[in-house]
A and B are shown apart, each in its own frame.
Chain A
Amino acid sequence: MTRAALIATALIATAAAPARAGWRPLELMLIDAGQGGAAGKRCVDRVAGFFKAQGEDVDLVRRDLAAVRAKLPATLPPSVLAWTDAATAALRVRKGDDPLDAIVVIDCRPDARTLDVVIDPAPDGVATLRLRAVALEAPVLEWVARRIQAAAYVGFEP
C-alpha cells in the first residue's frame, strides 16, 4: 500500500512538473522611450504583445523610460541607437535575483515612420535595429519583434 502510494505520488509530481530540465524563460525588460506619443505607445504595445504571445517562454517586464530614468546615466545620446550596454547596465540588476537576460529600448514614431531599437543582451555589446520610411503596421512590428527576440537570446543560458 505504501509502495503504491509512493508510486502514485511520483507520477502526480511528474505530471505536474513536465521534464524541462534546464528550462527557464527569457527575462526581458521592454522600455518605451516615449518619443512617439500615443501612436508610439500603441506601437510598443504591439511589440510587447508579440512577447506576451510567447507565453511562458518569455517573462516580460514593461517600463516607461521616465520610470527608469533615474537608473540611467545623467546624459544619454538623443538616439537610442547610440546607447551602449554601459547605459543600460544598471537596469539589468535585480535585488535578490539573477540579472535580466536583456534590456530592450524602443523609440517608435509611427507618424514619422521611424523605429529605433537597442537590445542589450547578456554578453558585452548591444544590437540595434533601425527602420525608416516604412509604415509601422502589425506585420512589420511582428517582424521587428522576432528580430528583437533573436537578439535578446544572444548569450542566453537556460
Chain B
Amino acid sequence: MRCGLIGITLALVACKSGGGEGRAGGGAAVGGARDGAVAVGTDANAVAATTDAAPVAPAVIDAGAAAVDAGAGRAATPTPPGVVRLVLVHDVPLLRSEEKALQRVTSALARGKLKGTVVDAGDEEAALFAAWTAQVPPEPMPPLPAAWATAPLVIVVGVNPPSGVEPKRQSSGLSPPVVFRPPSNDAVFVAGGRATGDTFDGLLEEGGLLSMLATFARSAP
C-alpha cells in the first residue's frame, strides 16, 4: 500500500513538472507529458518495475518509465514468462489520442488468447530496433535483450513523432513493426524501406498485426 502511494506520488510529481522532454530511443512518453498526453495505467507496480525490476502484470503499461529518469541507461522492463511483449520506441510523449488508442490495444492484449503486455523500450531494445530499421537484416544480427528470453513473441514498433503544432498536433502513426520469436535473434517479420506502418487501432483491425500473433508464435523453427 505504501509503495503504491509512493508510486502514485512519483507519477503525479512527474506530471506536475511537465516532463515533456523525450528520451532518445523512447520511453519518455507515457507519463509526465504536458502537451495533451496522459498517463495510462499509472499503476504503482509499473513504477516499481522500472526502479526495482519487479515483474509487471500482463497488459500493464510502463507508465512509470517517464517518472524515473536519472539520465542513466534504461533497462528493459521485465515481462512475465509466456507473455507477448509489445515494445514502443518513441522520442516524444504520446498524444492523448494515441494514449487512448494504446489503451484499446492494451485491453485487447489482456483479453486475447495469447496474453500480451505493452512496455516502453529500454536502451538495448531501442538500439536493436534501430539496427533492424537501418538495414534488413543487420549484419551482424544483434543479440536479443535478456528481458525477452521468456517471451513467446516480441513486437517492436516505433511511434512516429506527431505532425503539426500545438494545440493541433496529429498522430503520425507507427513505423512498420519488427517481430521476434525468442530465442532466435532473426526477426520473424520485418518491413523496410518505404513500407507503410500501422496505427494503434490498425493493429487491432481484422487482418491487423495482432491477428497474426498466434500464427507467428506457433511457427517454431
Which residues of A approach B to under 8 Å, CB–CB? 81, 113, 119, 121, 123, 125-135, 137, 139-140, 142-143, 146-147, 150-151, 154
Residues on B facing A (Cβ under 8 Å): 136-137, 181, 184, 186-196, 207, 211-212, 215-216, 219-221
Pick the 6 closest A-B CB pairs, nearest first: A127-B195, A128-B192, A127-B194, A133-B221, A134-B219, A150-B196
Question: Which of A127, A140, A142 sits near B193, CB closer than 8 Å?
Answer: A127
Nearest CB in chain B: distance from A140 CB, A: 6
Say yes or no: A151-B215 contact (C-beta < 8 A), given A133-B186, A133-B188.
no
Q: Which B residues lie within 8 Å of A142 (CB)?
A: 207
With A and B bound together, what is the CA distance between A139 and B215 in angstroms?
A: 9
Closest partner residue, chain A, to B211 (CB atom) = A143
A127 CA to B189 CA, complexed, in Å: 14
A137 partner residues in chain B, CB cutoff 8 A = 215
Which B residue sits closest to A113, measured CB to CB? B219
Q: A113-B219, A125-B193, A147-B195 are contacts. A130–B212 as well, Cβ < 8 Å?
A: no
Chain A residues within an 8 Å CB radius of B187: 130, 132
Q: How far is the CA of A133 from the CA of B216 in the complex (A)?
A: 9
Q: Is the CB of A128 within 8 A of B207?
A: no
Chain B residues, CB < 8 A from A135: 215, 219
Residue among B192, B195, B219 having the largest count of chain A Cβ atoms under 10 Å: B195
Contact, CB under 8 Å: B188 / A143: no
Cβ contacts under 8 Å, B192 to chain A = 81, 127-130
A151 to B215, CA, bound (A): 22
Among B181, B190, B193, B195, contact of A133 (Cβ-Cβ < 8 Å) = B181
Residue pair B191, A134 in contact (C-beta under 8 Å): no
Contact (Cβ within 8 A) B207 A127? no
Shortest CB-to-CB span from A115 to chain B, Å, is 9
A101 to B: closest C-beta gap in Å: 13
- What is the distance, in angstroms, from B139's C-beta to the closest C-beta of chain A? 12
Contact A132 B193 (CB under 8 A): no
Contacting pair B195 A128 (CB below 8 A) = yes
Complex CA–CA separation, A134 to B186 (angstroms): 12
B188 and A132: CB pair below 8 A?
yes
